[in-house]
Structure 1
Amino acid sequence: MTTTVIPPAVRPPAGPAHRDGNVLRWLGAYTASMIGDNVFYIALSWAAVRSGTPSQAGLVMAVSAVPRALLMLGGGVVADRFGPRRVVIGSDAVRCAAVLTVAALLFVARPGLWLLALLAVVFGIVDAVFMPAVGALPARVTGRDQLARVQGMRGLAVRFANVVGAPLGGLGVALGGSATAFALAGLLIAVSVPLLISVRMRETPPADDANTAPAGVEAVGPPGDPDGAPARGDVSGPHARVSGAEDGTAAVPERPATAWRDLRDGLRYIRGHQVLAPLIVTIALGDLGFVGPLNVGLALLADRRGWGASGMGLVVAAFGAGAGAAALLLAWRGTLPRAGSAGAAALLGGSVAIGALAQVPGVGAAVGVALAIGLLAGLSGALCGALLQTQSDPAYLGRVTAVAGIVSLGLAPLSMPLTAAAIGWWGTGPVFAGSAVVCGLGGVVALAVRDLRRAELPR
């Protein structure tokens, strides 16, 4: 006989997410943390440039990506085992302490590049658990029918942090150098901690989807811990199996769950899910085709077209405005019909616009194309993120977010040096066209898989 943990009752919905004080406290914490991140990277880059050669500064800026990519799968396990809220609070506390410590050291001495590199590594390690937990947290603070709206609100917070964070970092550097900028970043991250502590967690049942528990994994509801962590009496974790004898004797755990077993179960869960598996492939292809051209490729394109730094800034601003408009649309509407098909169509349209960007001669036309890219790619990304949230069983959401994050933050950035080298060999037109094909393949996958094409957001 196999017994399954019964999930606790779900609290009644608190109304639309943009009017829910609980969601707004979470959003305030997330926004403060993201602004702090932007200020931190401005401070880190400035301090690295002042302390070493350009190549050494580049190494310091890139070194955090290594532990983040290597440890993120484990970070997803940590988020699911201990609860996303607890992990995010701990991560922000560690990041705040590390940044403020470096700020204090820089105020009294100049330790050199080794301290900056160490700080970057610490941030990379903490990000490996922070990012999956951040991705899993929205499902614990609002109902499933509000997750799409929350995804739009989160997108607006990211855009706001990008716009505000860089000038704040520059102001900190101008007023007191890197030490002041680091102190400002630490204080902004610190603001998120009390806000997160005040956020109430929902007791969310598993997603009502037939594909949430593939063969070999018996899903159970999230336990009653207020942080969404495994109940302390359940030694086997969030998806354990408990067996009893046929004669009615007491049930005993078959095997205690381990982190490695949790990781394997999470990967098997994703692989067996008829929506999540192709959705992550779609996200991966979209990011691989998008990151290179819209980062290093755009700078090289502006240089070859003679647009100058101001022209490139206008193009980047237009892209940000388009992406912000897409996030605002989803935050306002709360859902869109036929989300799977709409996301695929937006990704296909965005891929066409990416290819067209390399063909326009003037800044004005480039601004228009960039606005279209931001709107279409932003809409596709927001819909894919919302589907990722709503299709995942909450007990696996940290691991699902970790797999998607490895693609976006680990594999996609690798395309940037390849894009730069390819443009040097073949020019901007062919490389942007090739990137557009890769991005468009993500839309083709989404349309080709019936369950993803027909996927809907809760209403």
Structure 2
Amino acid sequence: MNEGTSAPVPAGAVSLWASGNFRRYFAARSASLLGDTVLPIGLSAAVLEQGFGASGVGYALAASLAPTILLMLFGGALADHFRPKPMMVFADLVRFLAQGVLCVLLLVGEPSLWAILVTQVVFGVATALFQPTISGLVPEIAPDDVHKANGLLRIAESMVTLGGPALAGILLAFAPATAVVGIDAATCLISAILVATLRLAGKRGDQGPPKVFDDIREGWSEFVSRPWLYSVISAFAVMGLVVFGPFQVLSATVLTEDHGASAYGLLMSAHGLGAVIGGLVGLRRMPRRPLRTGALAMLAFAPQLAFIALGAPVPLVAVGMLVAGIGRSYWAVMWSTSVQTRVPPDVLNRVLAYEITGSMMLIPVGRAVAGPVSESLGSTPVLMTGAVCTVIGCLSLLLVPSVRRLALQRPDRVPGDPAEPVPASSPRTETTEGRSA
């Protein structure tokens, strides 16, 4: 089989549903994803309702993310040292309380921007304990079907992305933003309950107290030993600053101001529909060179930025967001499967913590500066810059040999040969323990 061909994914993804663990994990992750989807819309609307403008939206969104990024490495180290389940339940309960307090503040009065920011900082700190474990549990929940599990999870995420914004938009048409924030709080509680019911292997053997900084250094060594990994994360770090951060703020403010909150929610649903399609395509076939194909698919993220920047009609913006959802979802399946099948399970949480931290570390900066910069220069040049940088970033990845040639590989093999594929007849991995939920 030549390099350009694709190996069919074995049929029988439905067999994953025979596992109660996977069903509960799937439901927990779907609930958590619903909260993640509605939070930016509800939080943005709440901040705008209080009269804090685009800058306030940027600060609030950054406050919920910055602590997560700053503390992510500690969360990954702790998840590799201990079993992640109790940490995840605790984190979800704290996140539930943080968003619950914000709901109360919005209901009883007019909270200051600082009060809103404090609740989001607490939320972000708890997320730092939860986030590194989100995809790391996949090899433990579905050790023989990592790729199929990722495809199903991405489809679920996409369906939530499709329905969540629509739900938020409908609620905002008839109720204050507090209702949407309340949904986020409820999903955290539901996730905590479902995670608590997972039946996982017991606590790892007695390792004594964690040596967090030693574990973090070991995770760094594993991370930098894989050029394909740090090359992708470097590109996405820059894109977080100039693409993803500004997009989250300006898509909310520009589309809401131009077309209303309900239209914004429905347009985000078009992105969700595209993501469902992208997940289905990713589930159906696994290319022999997943990162190369995924990087090409990510180019589809650029047109929506240009359409919003140029004030295109709603139908054209919807098409752009649909196409963007397809590309980004397909990339996500390719990327998650590549990492989970090529990194040894005993360091997977730490490597994923570096992956998440690196790819997200500049998003809060992008969110925070998007409002002031757009108020100074206008939203059009900021969004157009994002569109151009998306194209440059994706094409630059194709110039990296280890990214271009990377094929699936069992994590028990010595890393270093990016072209060594898993046989086409068996794209399964031999992982035994995963890292997170």
- TM value normalised by structure 1: 0.70
AA aligned to 1:382 is V
2:216 pairs, out of 242, 255, 263, with: 263
2:4 alignment partner in structure 1: none
The answer (yes or no) to whether the contact 2:58–2:368 under 8 Å persists in 1 is: no
2:125 alignment partner in structure 1: 125
1:78 alignment partner in structure 2: 78
CA drift at 1:380? 1.9
AA aligned to 1:267 is W
The answer (yes or no) to whether the contact 2:46–2:177 under 8 Å persists in 1 is: yes
Instruction: Note closer, same or farther for the CA distance 1:300–1:353 as it changes in structure 2 (3 Å cut).
Output: same
> How many angstroms apart in 2 are the aligned matches of 1:100 and 1:353?
34
AA aligned to 1:326 is G
> How many angstroms apart in 2 are the aligned matches of 1:337 and 1:176?
49
The within-5 A match list for 1:12-411 is 16-17=15-16, 20-37=19-36, 59-60=59-60, 62-100=62-100, 112-113=111-112, 116-143=116-143, 146-165=145-164, 185-201=184-200, 226=201, 230-232=204-206, 234-235=207-208, 258-292=211-245, 294-298=247-251, 315-331=267-283, 333=284, 335-351=286-302, 354=305, 358=309, 361-411=312-362
AA aligned to 1:372 is V
Instruction: Note closer, same or farther for the CA distance 1:426–1:124 as it changes in structure 2 (3 Å cut).
Output: closer
CA drift at 1:186? 4.1
Any idea what SS the aligned residue of 1:335 has?
strand
The answer (yes or no) to whether the contact 2:306–2:383 under 8 Å persists in 1 is: yes
AA aligned to 2:194 is L
CA drift at 1:126? 0.3
1:414 alignment partner in structure 2: 365
> How many angstroms apart in 1 are the aligned matches of 2:97 and 2:234?
37
CA drift at 1:313? 5.7
Of residues 269-278 and 416-425 in structure 1, the stretch that sits farther from structure 2 once superposed is 416-425
The answer (yes or no) to whether the contact 2:96–2:189 under 8 Å persists in 1 is: yes
CA drift at 1:158? 2.9
> How many angstroms apart in 1 are the aligned matches of 2:89 and 2:303?
41
The answer (yes or no) to whether the contact 2:299–2:390 under 8 Å persists in 1 is: yes
CA drift at 1:432? 4.4
> How many angstroms apart in 2 are the aligned matches of 1:91 and 1:428?
36
The answer (yes or no) to whether the contact 1:289–1:436 under 8 Å persists in 2 is: no
CA drift at 1:360? 8.3
The answer (yes or no) to whether the contact 1:35–1:161 under 8 Å persists in 2 is: yes
CA drift at 1:435? 2.4
Structure of greater relative contact order (alpha carbons < 8 Å, 6+ residues apart) = 2
The answer (yes or no) to whether the contact 2:29–2:191 under 8 Å persists in 1 is: yes
CA drift at 1:29? 0.9
The answer (yes or no) to whether the contact 1:139–1:147 under 8 Å persists in 2 is: yes
> How many angstroms apart in 2 are the aligned matches of 1:354 and 1:422?
16
Identity %, equivalent residues: 27
Instruction: Note closer, same or farther for the CA distance 1:98–1:176 as it changes in structure 2 (3 Å cut).
Output: same
The answer (yes or no) to whether the contact 1:291–1:413 under 8 Å persists in 2 is: no
User: 1:354-390 CA distances to partner (integer Å, 9 max, x unpaired)?
Assistant: 5577568544444333322222233223322322222
Structure 2 unaligned residues grouped into runs of 5+: 1-11, 409-421, 428-437
Any idea what SS the aligned residue of 1:136 has?
coil
1:219 alignment partner in structure 2: none
Of residues 363-372 and 20-29 in structure 1, the stretch that sits farther from structure 2 once superposed is 363-372
Instruction: Note closer, same or farther for the CA distance 1:439–1:53 as it changes in structure 2 (3 Å cut).
Output: closer
Alpha-carbon RMSD? 4.1
> How many angstroms apart in 1 are the aligned matches of 2:234 and 2:105?
44
Any idea what SS the aligned residue of 2:199 has?
coil
> How many angstroms apart in 1 are the aligned matches of 2:322 and 2:14?
33
Instruction: Note closer, same or farther for the CA distance 1:365–1:94 as it changes in structure 2 (3 Å cut).
Output: closer
Instruction: Note closer, same or farther for the CA distance 1:178–1:196 as it changes in structure 2 (3 Å cut).
Output: same
User: 1:56-115 CA distances to partner (integer Å, 9 max, x unpaired)?
Assistant: 6765554333322221221221221222333222212333345556767888x6695466
> How many angstroms apart in 1 are the aligned matches of 2:312 and 2:174?
40
AA aligned to 1:127 is T
Any idea what SS the aligned residue of 1:63 has?
helix
Q: How many residues align?
A: 397
CA drift at 1:263? 0.9
AA aligned to 1:325 is I
Any idea what SS the aligned residue of 2:361 has?
helix
The answer (yes or no) to whether the contact 1:84–1:134 under 8 Å persists in 2 is: no
Structure (1 or 2) with the larger CA radius of gyration: 1
The answer (yes or no) to whether the contact 1:284–1:404 under 8 Å persists in 2 is: no
- TM value normalised by structure 2: 0.73
> How many angstroms apart in 1 are the aligned matches of 2:358 and 2:115?
29
CA drift at 1:24? 1.9
AA aligned to 2:361 is G
